[in-house]
Chain A
Amino acid sequence: MIKKIIIGLFCLSFTSVAQAVLKIDITEGFEGALPIAVIPFQWNGAAKVANGDISAIVMSDLARSGKFSPVAEKDLIARPQKLADVHYKTWRIAGMDHIVIGSVTRQADGNYQVEFRLIDILKAKQVLGYSFSATDKTLRGVAHQISDYIFTHITGLPGAFSTRIAYVTLKRDKTSYSARLQVSDTDGYNPQTLLTSDQPIMSPAWSPDGSELAYVSFESGQAEIFTHNILTGVRKSRSKFAGLNGSPAWSPDGKKLVMTLSKDGNPDIYVLNLSDNKLKRITDHWSIDTEAAWLPDGKSIVYTSSRSGKPQLYRQSVSANAKPERLTYEGGYNASASVSADGKSVAYVHGEGNIYRIAVLELATKSSRILTDGPLDESPVYAPNNSMILFASQEKNQAVLAAVSVDGRQKQRLSFTDGEVREPSWAPVRH
């Protein structure tokens, strides 16, 4: 067997080759979204940069969050460029709560000065205003930061637009197989390849500081867990026991990885201490125990176990001799938990008959609700601000990523231009 792998160095530049760009289509909107008008920014001393159209990026981010309904550019009733140009009464009559104005000015050194102002129409004043310095390469990043400021100011939630997502893409047919581990902005732009392999790549998981990914690669002819620094490209083999090496997830303090190993006979859950490579066994059962996710306190995990005969979710402390507590009872297949950042809820795959959908379980009440339609939805992961859940879905025989708001009312599809895309992982909010 010939194995080809290419390890990529992640460089923070969107001039690098962007072969396959994610395209996001909003498939279902909802009526409670807040009206906002983002006026096209004025460009001074330079033509608009194609990949850095700040106001268009902000508009797209806000729409994607499900919490805003930005006015289409062609429907704008006015295009004020300065605060003094804003006619509050006109906007009030138009039913607008907020408007965003701004400018991009080319400096003598070739860089850009980006300014934006968020205006509250009811209060009739500016409520937020910032100025940034940017280069050709950082314009998109600045736009996502502006989206975060606006989102946070209005909703009170941390913004997650300037974080990143990781996912696995696959191109295959009867004779060839090419898997890639990719990282992109949360809107799918700027995709960069961290690893290319002719063997499967699975289960990417971000470190809590967003600098590293843990994942499973079969490149050596067996399952092996690696950690990979996305900035330096340096990676380390963390687990290569006989049998399974799967489902890695970083502890909230970044010091440990929980994982599934079968070296002692059956798939069980272990915690690896990264500083001294000490392994601690958490479960010991003849059935399948896997897909562990940490609760934010770092003291317990939620995992999938088939100890009742069918896969169900359990919660268990990672301390010695802890007893598992069964969390799910409805339906014959409940697996692949993702815990929200506040630790209050768990997104998971709920299978009933041949239909697999994303559901959310409230840990306090043990009540659950189904958010998606299936039929083959999997790999749910919370956005770091808990506002939505990203998941993998099957649509018209095409593997796509999709997002659903936690109330289930807003759905979006992130379609990929080329090949299959799966197993999303959303980087934490930058601190």
Chain B
Amino acid sequence: MKKILFISVLALSIAACGERIKPDDEMAGDTNDTANVDASGGATAGGIYTGGGIGGTALEGGKLVSYEKNAIDDPNNVLHEKVVYFEFDSNSVSDDYVELVKHHGKYLSFNTSASVRLEGHADERGTREYNVALAEKRAQAVKQLMLYEGAGNDQITIISYGEEKPVAFGHDDESMSLNRRVEIVYQ
């Protein structure tokens, strides 16, 4: 079935979303809150356009919001961003990333043939096996948010690498904040 459906979502809260590329480098983090599924900073209003071929241009933080099949490869689309960063020893999706994760969840719900692997990572502090468990809980939190947006359970797989695969090799705060992440990898 060929789905000719163009959907765009306009986020009302631009401020909450514009800064998300920069990971939060705050060191303190509490674990007593579980996955934050309440999109406090980013209420969304949706507009559905069915006119084939007419490109709607909803913008969010200067980025296009649409869920066409190739949207994930468009550098101007919000979906082009595929990394969610976390605070130390925390597995809560922070307010800065809730909208991003929801967009990917919606994309999966509209593109049922698409699938993702969520790769959980941690920084080098703490023990290796604990970090594998922590990074899996991070990926689980991302998955949970995606499921709320209508993504199918069988569209999402999880792997946790803990601290085994850093992207930044320094031992400074900035390197470590870049390594505390979940990567959304389309298959």
Contacts and interface: CB of A to CB of B under 8 A. Distances in A.
B130 A288 contact: yes
Nearest to A170: B164
Interface in A266-297: 266-267, 286-288, 290-291
Contact of B130 (A218, A291, A354): A291
Interface stretch (B1-9, B10-18, B54-62, B155-163): B155-163
Interface-centre pick from B89, B127, B171 (highest chain A CB count, 10 A) = B127
Interface stretch (A91-99, A302-310, A381-389): A302-310
Contact of A203 (B30, B125, B129, B133): B129
Contacts of B182: none
A267 B136 contact: yes
B136 A336 contact: no
A63 B132 CA distance: 37
B125 A304 contact: no
Interface residues of A, number: 40
A335 interface: yes
Contacts of A260: 129, 133
Given A200-B165, A244-B136, A267-B136, A311 B130 contact: yes
Interface string B133-167: 11011000000000000000000001111101100
B129 A378 contact: no
B30 A349 contact: no
Interface in A106-122: none
A244 B160 contact: yes
B74 to A, nearest CB: 24
B128 interface: yes
Contacts of B159: 218, 221-223
A143 to B, nearest CB: 34
B44 interface: no
Contacts of A266: 137
A262 B132 CA distance: 11
A351 interface: yes
Given A202-B164, A243-B158, A288 B127 contact: no
Interface of B: 27, 30-32, 34, 89, 124-130, 132-134, 136-137, 158-162, 164-165, 171
Interface of A: 177, 200, 202-203, 218, 221-223, 243-244, 246-247, 260, 262, 266-267, 286-288, 290-291, 304, 306, 309-311, 333, 335-336, 349, 351, 354, 356, 376, 378-379, 394, 397, 422-423
Given A202-B164, A290-B133, A356-B126, 10 more contacts: A203-B129, A244-B133, A260-B133, A304-B127, A309-B30, A310-B31, A311-B130, A351-B126, A354-B27, A379-B128
